[in-house]
Structure 1
Amino acid sequence: MELKRGKERRRKENKNLHRSMAWCFAGLVLLLVAAGIIQPDKKISDEENRVLTTFPKPGIETIKNKEYMTALEDYSSDQFVLRDLWIRLKVRCDLLIGKREFNGVYLGKKKYLMQIPVGMDEKNTEENLEAMNRFRQANSDLKMNALIVPNAAYIMKDYLPLGAPVRDQGEDMKYIKKQLSGGIGLIDITETLRKHADEGIYYKTDHHWTSRGAAYGFGAAAKQLEIEGVVSDYKIHTVTTDFSGTLASKSGYHKAKDTVEVYQPENVEYQYLVSDSDNEERRPTIYDRKALEEKDKYQVFFGGNHAIVDIVTTNDNQRRLLIFKDSYANCFVPFLIPYYSEIIMIDARYYYENVHTLVENKGITDVLFLYNMDTFLNDNSLADVLTGE
């Protein structure tokens, strides 16, 4: 009898425990829902360094083609209560089970985060190359070169997780060289970067190369760019040791910090003034110290990306360089400044003017296409600018 009463008591206790757990779970769900309703929408995620989805406006067409439901799902995901906390918890759980790929980012040796190179968009790549060839034909008197920089995952294969697949950007480089007309020289710095792969030529937390990587790249490219008297000695200034870049934000892994350096050539007398489409006032420095107080400290170079940047120097050699670029150029161009009378940078993603008029009005003598491989193979804004579309 006593045994029977004991079993009955334990059954009731278990039932009460299950009921309490159910109520707690329901209360937690209701609390999260209420918090989600009360909490104002965030416009920007500092953690992920991107714009968040806001509440979509319904429309007959968007509801019919299911765009509204997709947008609503994106909104729910972006505005979820304590989203950053859940992302960090997920990353920790994934690490415990041995996972080394987070949201398209590899976690490699020595805490290196490396973006997984995406495949080639054949249509966009072909459009870019055809537009470059046509631009060359229309400006046959100009010296033209292309510098396409391989990404970290390809250069630093030894740092990747065991068995991690990576796109062969060497084959991509061969394809680009084959498709370019003879009047455009392709500068391949792959082997140079590989020789220095252990020297911090890419950031651990960001998708860009570092100033050190750009310095090696410049040294390898200078001859083909017909730059004479290249400086080999630099004074290196560390401007921050607390940089957490785009890949840390994208992956949710925040266990490493990067150092951002600025290279100043020694024993070279030169001055310059710079302006851009967002700030037409000419200033004597390309560095934006205010960016060091922001999340994206890579923007210390030129204050980030602009439709057009114009650098006028005291060099009187009358060489005027036009650069079509992505953000990889931002830490590379400082090495070019002493060797040209003027450098104009165009970011095709934001530029909508006629480049042929610019070439004529500015008396351009040299052209450089400077992109990282991933961008060049997938973004066709360069083709749009070169063809005037």
Structure 2
Amino acid sequence: MRHPGTAADTIVIGGGMVGASIALGLVLRGHRVTVLDEGDRALRAARANFALLWVQSKGAGAPAYFNWSRMAAAAWPDFARQLEAMTGIVLHLSQRGGLTLALSGAEMDHLATRSARIACDQGSDFPHEMLDHSQTRALLPAIGPDVVGALFSPLDGHLNALALFHALHRAFGRSGGHYVPASPVRTITPTKTGTFILDTPHGYRECERVVLAAGLDNTRLAPMVGLHAPITPQRGQIMVTQRLPPFLDYPTNALRQTDNGSVLIGNSQDTVMTRQPVDLEIDAVMADRAIRSFPCLQAASVVRSWSCFRVKSPDGMPVYDHSTLWPGAFVASCHSGVTLAPNHTGLVCDAIHTGIIPPIMQAFSASRFTLTAASRS
């Protein structure tokens, strides 16, 4: 049955952080866009988002990824103002810098080595500073004695991820976009006339362009349109404390204090692909590091903890590709949906709109995995 709903020349599959950003960018370029979303019952990667705008750990040995992340970070102030003006939703963006704390000499050495490699790749154009304990305490007075030092970069920051998610969807709807929940795509069939037929539980939909932004499901959908979306999913856990008086003026890679005072604790990684409950042993490790970093958290109550999945390619970089077999099909996969949102609404949508991948995005083609495998054989 052909679906009688709103006509669309472009369908975005997936309404998470990446899909919503791309859908907004396309509708602002004049496309008639429908988002088909599985809904909140999906293994949505946005649940795993720590709401960091993070550059300092991106691109060691991969300068294209660092440059891509840095471009996005630089665009965030204007992007936030635009979204807030379009929607009236305050994103609580703070971009004063961020720190990665080290609790041992070995961790400090690792941070220094990684940062030196990024700086070398960038011709020393990587603003950062290695801080000792007293320098770290000057920025974060609440740190404990176990903190040896930290890496600081002024490029980083954080915001309210739920507000961003809401703002993207509200801006998309107000700009004429059409959002359809509970609509997982079962199959995509390219036609001889250059369109795509999408099979959903509510009937068939046809479009001229289809954008795969379905997170983990991109691996299944991509081959249907001649694309490749290799994904190595990571399961992470996040804990949230009660609301506390302000003590964390800068976000760290594993802890940040939200605009309402609660503290998010995270940064665990494993590859277990099940919906199993939270692993309390992992929570215990995260809590121990959090308390060693900030002893004031010893008395804080954890009000919620959950596990979730991050979408990562084998090398950790994004995947953006046009289909050469079926022009009009595009795939976008990444695990930095917040940091990269301005790029997804901007340059990625330009690439979809024009059919031309700009040089800065060419390093993120999935063909890099085929070339790597061929060189090893």
| Bigger Rg over Cα | 1
Fold conserved between structures, TM > 0.5? no
Give the number of the structure with larger relative contact order, counting CA–CA contacts within 8 Å between residues 6 or more apart.
Answer: 2
In the superposition, the TM-score normalised over structure 2's length comes to 0.25
TM-score, normalised to structure 1's length?
A: 0.24
Greater percentage in helix:
1
